[in-house]
Amino acid sequence: MAHKFVIKKSSNGEYVASFEYNGEKVFWTETYKSKSSAQNAIDSIKKNGPMAEVHDAT
């Protein structure tokens, strides 16, 4: 698969969720104290992302 969400545990013991495309990290979240909070962030992106507006700030 060329794209995926990844949850990793950081060196301080907190969790961060990221989105990778072709092995390159495209974006990532803030850190969370629990793995379930990181998963909730992914679920929110998947749910709300397709409906998000695009703002051209150029």
Q: Express each pLDDT in 1-58 by its tens digit.
A: 689 999 999 999 999 999 999 989 999 999 999 999 999 999 999 999 888 899 999 9
Structural domain that includes position 40? 3-50
* Residue 58 domain-assigned (yes or no): no
For position 28, which CATH number holds? 3.30.160.160
* Residue 55 domain-assigned (yes or no): no
pTM to 2 decimal places: 0.82
**Residue 33 DSSP one-character state:** S
Per the structure, the count of domains in the chain is 1
* Residue 57 domain-assigned (yes or no): no
**Under 8 Å between Cβ of 17 and 5:** yes
**Under 8 Å between Cβ of 8 and 18:** yes
Q: Which residues share a beta bridge with 2? A: none
| pLDDT for residue 14 | 98
